[in-house]
């Protein structure tokens, strides 16, 4: 047992790197040992199973005990979340125009995509009022958040402190379970890397290089240039100390877990280090894991425009800018688990006139490059949750001091 405990004394990032390396080696040496891939599937399944419950109880508990003077900060944080996501989509449009990407689309899967923007709105509204049990089962985070807010406000008004304490304990217990699952990340990454390399070969890390370069370039530009500009304007001071702290303590873990929802406990701990108001960040962080999706907006935009270029469709600037708004809307409904944004590519492609089979093949390509793309996307999404939460909190505190 003491030897077993020593394993957990090794930094998680180093253990994950070792798991990744072992997965690549095993994928090359014994590709038929398919049982190894089960480790990755178990890890992702565990995250997907617990994350919806975590968000549900976390928001209920937070709202039931939240202070009364959170209105201005919530307006600020929601506005900043949406502005940041929209800017990310516009950045992706600009990069796609400057560096248009074409990929080979063959043997496309047959499927259908949402037909219009009104249909997208209708789907989001239907997701909001979905049966809460069904929302939890289907990992519908829009519905989970909607019902959690209603229940949390009701609990706050009509129940006593004992009930609120029980909900807080449940929330803390689920957060601890997530922390335990994250400790198993090295084994999960091993399985994911093995499956990717055994099925596609080591060349998978160099295939689709230009597409990956555009995606990652946009995300890095958003993280290091655009988000700091937003924070600098809001706080009227050098934003980079806060930006780098968020990247260092949130983005690295999110990069490997590939789940904004699973990274919520880590973000909460970082908010505590930053001395933010707990009543505020305990709601703002789960909210950000649902609607603050800079990386998802970039992925949806770049992949959709690549599908259009690859099928010979010319996209004018008006349609491209409209795509930015659609990508922002779609990103806000992206799941908080690995690969969520890829499933929204057909929605954006339909607006550009891309055939459903080509759109679904872009989704398949997204899953192939996902071990890189989705990791960076999640790192951007999750770290900016803390960045924007801190910005909104500091703005309000500065206002109160004036």
Q: What is the pLDDT of residues 110-165, one digit of tens each?
A: 334 444 556 556 666 777 788 888 888 876 766 777 888 888 888 888 888 788 88
Of 90-104, 105-119, 198-212, which has the strongest mean pLDDT?
Answer: 90-104
- Please indicate whether residue 226 or residue 167 has the higher confidence score (pLDDT): 226
Mean pLDDT for 164-191 is 80
* 214 vs 60: which has the higher pLDDT: 214
Mean pLDDT, the chain, integer: 78
The mean per-residue pLDDT over the stretch 291-305 comes to 86
How many residues does this entry show for the chain?
Answer: 402
pLDDT at 372: 80
Q: What is the mean pLDDT of residues 191-211?
A: 73
Mean pLDDT score, 218-233: 93
Q: Is the pLDDT of residue 108 over 50?
A: no
Determine the pLDDT at residue 336: 46
For 20-70, the pLDDT digits (tens) are 788 888 888 888 888 888 887 787 777 767 777 877 887 787 677 655 445
* Percent share of the chain, pLDDT over 90: 11
pLDDT of residue 194: 85
pTM of the model: 0.66
Q: Does the pLDDT at position 181 exceed 90?
A: no
Kindly state the average pLDDT of the residues 98-103: 83
Quick: pLDDT tens for 362-373. Answer: 777 777 677 688
Kindly tell me if the per-residue pLDDT of 236 is higher than 80. yes
Of residues 357 and 95, more confidently modeled? 95
**Which residue is listed with tokens 């074409």?**
102
pLDDT of 337 strictly over 80: no
Question: What was the pLDDT predicted at 205?
Answer: 58
The pLDDT value given to residue 200: 67
Mean pLDDT of 103-116: 49
pLDDT at site 388: 92
């Amino acid at each position: 047992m003491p030897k077993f405990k020593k394993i957990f004394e090794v930094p998680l990032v180093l253990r994950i790197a070792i798991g990744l390396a072992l997965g690549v080696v095993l994928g090359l040496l014994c590709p038929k040992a398919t049982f190894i891939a089960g480790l990755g599937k178990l890890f992702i399944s565990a995250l997907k199973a617990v994350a919806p419950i975590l968000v549900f109880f976390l928001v209920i508990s937070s709202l039931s005990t939240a202070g009364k003077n959170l209105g201005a900060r919530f307006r600020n944080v929601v506005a900043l979340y949406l502005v940041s996501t929209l800017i990310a989509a516009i950045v992706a449009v600009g990069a796609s125009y400057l560096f248009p990407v074409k990929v080979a689309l063959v043997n496309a899967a047959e499927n259908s995509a949402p037909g219009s923007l009104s249909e997208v709105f209708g789907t989001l509204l239907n997701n909001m009022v979905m049966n809460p049990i069904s929302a939890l089962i289907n990992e519908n985070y829009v519905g989970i958040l909607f019902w959690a807010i209603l229940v949390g406000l009701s609990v706050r008004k009509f129940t006593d402190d004992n009930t609120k304490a029980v909900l807080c304990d449940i929330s803390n217990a689920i957060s601890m379970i997530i922390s335990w699952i994250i400790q198993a990340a090295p084994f999960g990454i091993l399985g994911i890397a093995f499956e990717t390399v055994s099925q596609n070969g080591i060349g998978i890390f160099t295939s689709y290089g230009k597409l990956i370069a555009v995606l990652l370039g946009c995300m890095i530009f958003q993280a290091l240039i655009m988000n700091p500009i937003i924070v600098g304007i809001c706080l009227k001071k050098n934003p980079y100390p806060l930006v780098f702290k968020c990247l260092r303590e949130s983005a690295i873990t999110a990069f490997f877990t590939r789940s904004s929802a699973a990274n919520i406990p880590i973000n909460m701990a970082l908010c505590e280090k930053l001395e933010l108001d707990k009543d505020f960040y305990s709601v703002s962080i789960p909210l950000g894991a649902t609607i603050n999706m800079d990386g998802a907006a970039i992925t949806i935009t770049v992949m959709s425009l690549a599908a259009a270029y690859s099928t010979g469709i010319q996209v004018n600037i008006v349609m491209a800018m409209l795509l930015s708004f659609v990508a922002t809307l779609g990103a806000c409904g992206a799941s908080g688990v690995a690969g969520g944004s890829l499933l929204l590519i057909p929605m954006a492609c339909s607006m550009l006139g891309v055939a459903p089979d080509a759109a679904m093949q872009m989704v398949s390509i997204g899953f192939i490059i996902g071990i890189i793309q989705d990791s960076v996307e999640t790192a951007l999404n999750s770290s900016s949750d803390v960045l924007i939460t801190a910005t909104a909190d500091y703005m309000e505190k500065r206002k109160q001091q004036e």
